[in-house]
Amino acid sequence: MTGDGHTLRGVGATPLAGVGTAVRYDPDADLTPPDPPDPETVDEARERERFETARDHAREALEAQRAETAARVGEDEAAIFDAHLQFLDDPQVEDGVAGHLADGLPAEHAVDRAFGEAIAQFEDAGGLMAERTDDLREVRNRLLRRLLDVAAVDLSALPAGSVVVAERLGPADTAQLDPERVAGFVTATGGRTSHAAIMARSLGIPAVVGVDGLEAVEDGDELVVDGDAGEVVVDPSPERRERARETGTGAEVRHEPVTTADGRAVEVAANIGTAAEAAGAREQGADGVGLFRTEFLFLERDSPPSEDEQYEAVVDVLEAFDGDRVVVRTLDVGGDKPVPYLDTEEGSNPFLGVRGVRLAPGERPDLFETQLRALLRAAATDAGDGLAVMFPLVATVEELDGVLDRVQAVAGALDEAGIAYRIPELGVMVETPAAAFVAGDLAERVDFLSTGTNDLTQYVMAANREDERVADLHDPLHPGVLRAIDRTVTAAHEAGAWVGMCGEMAGDPDLTGLLVGLGLDELSMSAVTVPAVKERVTGVDTDEARALAERALAAETREAVLEVLGNGR
């Protein structure tokens, strides 16, 4: 394909740009089994053994890739592989395979049909079930590659300067990409909060997702991937290529705190999932940590971590930021982050079930109290002045009061035992409409609130972020979400609490002016977006930003909000 700077538009996933050569990638290629043989000629026992061998191989590969992803990118990103491991042993799929084997089909045909039936059922069910179909496809493809002896494309060994072009990229695909070699990736599906987009930000790879017209891009086309503007330029001019190369690394890293043009301080922090990620966040100029996801310590093991393990992990992060604020979220599992050894019932809709404080302290107060002991001890160390602790998925004042009572009880027990402790800043994640409605009551009891816009958007709009069919609804720029954020900020400030934001919305530089105008005191994001957001903060005039926010809040539709903001999101 040739052209004169033909531009395709999508959703920018990272504030980075790259220039490279298109490499088309189709994870389903060459995985259609040939016509099945006569059932009378098929040895069912042998085919069952072939299936079980392929499953064992897939399990080993998934476990290895999960561990590698956790170490390289982060535990939160690696957790998606837990769902793939569960599907390997899903009773419905296994029964389907067994049934087709009994009917005289070879293992590859039995796998293809059983997974195809499960995918169709999930798609028909819609909602949370439908969003799992990509996970099912990835597991099916792993099994089929083994059974058909088809080698997987090694995305980690692509030629330098490659731009991966695909209908979709799953987490197993994205985790392979080498930021030193890959100039970017573009996909036809996905949104800013899809797994591929989040992984791109964690790896620091230019990416544009949800691109219209991508089928016209061919292998070998030269592309500019502008993850800031959300554009893919095919056959770009020399000027456009040079401009992308000059800005490819993003904004200049600023290690000092920043203020708006008129002097208002805005803290720009990073979201991390492991202590190992703290150094990288510091290198990107993060002022601190706005979200330390502690659930990583509970995954990839057979039992919960000890108090001392949790204490050491938190102290490591506190020392890495040397007195700057580090906000630690207490255990938040359930929903899309199951922990098998906790043996909790998933329920018909796990996102509306036992997760966050409903699990710990709710059903498992022992887990919560062990973690609190570790946190209160960490707060008493030389580096502990910066520690802040927030509680996830609080929906009622009663829940918060119960949590705060437990904090006091743990502090009392430490005091009686003669163990040094300190109660740090305490806060609540605002992720539900209920929390936004009672934000003032919550803020009167704690030091801060932090809006988790990924879940807040999901619950306000009743639209899951991984279901492509409702992707337009999962956007924090819908008036209902913006007004929930505004209500939270206003109520918190009236109660004397500061307010942060740790969802993906905080890391979108195009929205920095709006968020400053809404009154956010702190913005926390993937580390790679910190430099760009800091740069945007320095150019914001607070009065103008407030006026912008007021116009956006008055808008009645998402389209009207976009018009107010004047961007192409």
Active-site residues: which are they? 195, 502
- Token pair belonging to 14: 């990272």
Separation between Cα atoms, residue 92 and residue 78, nearest integer Å: 25
Separation between Cα atoms, residue 176 and residue 25, nearest integer Å: 13
Of the candidates 340, 330, 568, 558, which has an alpha carbon nearest to the alpha carbon of residue 463? 558
Separation between Cα atoms, residue 339 and residue 296, nearest integer Å: 10
Coil, strand or helix: which one is 270? Answer: strand
The CA-CA-CA angle for residues 530, 173, 285, to 5°, reads 10
Separation between Cα atoms, residue 87 and residue 85, nearest integer Å: 5
Coil, strand or helix: which one is 187? Answer: strand
Coil, strand or helix: which one is 223? Answer: strand
Separation between Cα atoms, residue 188 and residue 320, nearest integer Å: 39
Separation between Cα atoms, residue 559 and residue 317, nearest integer Å: 41
Kind of pairing between the strands at 258-259 and 231-234: unpaired
Tell me, what DSSP letter sits at residue 360?
I
Give the type of residue at 18: G
Separation between Cα atoms, residue 464 and residue 474, nearest integer Å: 7
Of the candidates 448, 439, 432, 299, which has an alpha carbon nearest to the alpha carbon of residue 387? 448
Phi, psi of 11 (to 5 degrees): -110, 120
